[in-house]
Structure 1
Amino acid sequence: MNLDLYSFESFPAETTLEFEADNIDFESEGLFLKDLLTVKVGIQQIGDEYFCHAYLTVPVEEECCRCLTLFDDELNSDFNFSIKIGKGESVLSSESDNSDVIMLGAGEHVADLSDVIREALVLALPSKPLCDEDCRGLCPNCGVNLNEEYCKCKDVEIDDRWEDLKNLS
C-alpha cells in the first residue's frame, strides 16, 4: 500500500489508490473485507512535507450483534496524515512516533500507507453493527432468530432468587 510522490507532476494533486482486500493485514472478529479497498487522496506540498487528506471506502460483510447473521455493509473513513522527508539517510525523530506522520529518509519518495490505512479501518468500525435498526435478535431461551420466525417458547423460567422482586410493586 504505497504512495509514490514522484508520480505527480505538480501539487496540489489527487489520486485514487485501490488495494485487494486479501492483501490488507487487518482482522476483526465478525467483519470480513470484500473486493477492493479504495482510498482517494488529496495532497498539498509545503517544502519537504506533504499534507494528505484521504477518504477510504471498502465493502464488508459484518455479523449483526443481535441476531448474528451476516450482512453486507460499507466502511467509510475520512482521515489526515502527512509525509515528511528528512535531511539524512535514516530519520530518527520524536515525530516518527506520531502515527499521523510518515517519515521518509532523504532521497526516498515512496510512502507506505499500511499503518494509516489500518488505523482508519479500525476507527471506522461500528461499535455495535446491526443488520437493521429494528433487528429483534435471538430468543434468549431457544435461540431462534426472531427476525425470521416467531418464538415458540411459552413459559420463561425465572431464577428462584429473583421471585421476591415480583412483590415489590
Structure 2
Amino acid sequence: MSRVVTKEQYFDTALATLAELGFKGLNIGLLCRRLGVTSGSFYHHFGSWQSFVDALLEHWENRQVRILRTLNFNQGNPDDDIRAMSDLAAGLHHAAEAAIRAWAANDESVSLAIKRVDESRRRTVHKSIKGVVGDDNTAAVVTSLGMAMLIGYQQIAPNEDVPLERLLTEYARLIYSHARH
C-alpha cells in the first residue's frame, strides 16, 4: 500500500530541508525519501520541479501574509503593535528563510517572492513604528534598521552569541527612544 501525502506535507518537508541542507540540498528524490513516497506522487501533485517551486513559494508567501493578518497590527495601540512585531520576528523559521534568501540569489522567481514578503513586512513594521515615533522619515530609517537586523540575524543565527530576543528588546528600546512626546 502506498502512502498518500498532501501538498502541505511536501511544503513543510521542503522548508525543513531548506533549513537543514540549504537550497542546494532540496530535490525531488530527497523530498520523496523523507516523505516515504515515490517520485510519481511528486509529479502527481506538481507536474514538474518548477511547478513545485512556484507552489512552495506561493505557500510560503501566503503563510507570511496570514501571519501578518492574525497578529492584528494597527488596531490603535502602538505598544501592542511593537510587541506583535517582536513576536512575529521571534516566530519566523529563520534557518529556512536564510536558505530561501540564498536561493533567491540564484533563482529569479525566488527573488521576486522574497521581495514581496519583505515589502509586506516593511509596510507593516513601518506603520507600527510610525505609530510610536510619529515622524515618517524617522520611522523609515528605524524600519530599515529592523529589516537589516532581522535579515542579518537569519544569516548568522547558527553562530550567534546574542539571542534574537535580546536583539528585539534592544530594537524596541531604539524605537521608543524616538517616541514622540
Query: Which has the bigger relative contact order, CA under 8 A and spacing at least 6?
Result: 2
Pairwise TM-score range, normalised by the shorter structure? under 0.3
Higher helix share: 2
Higher strand share: 1
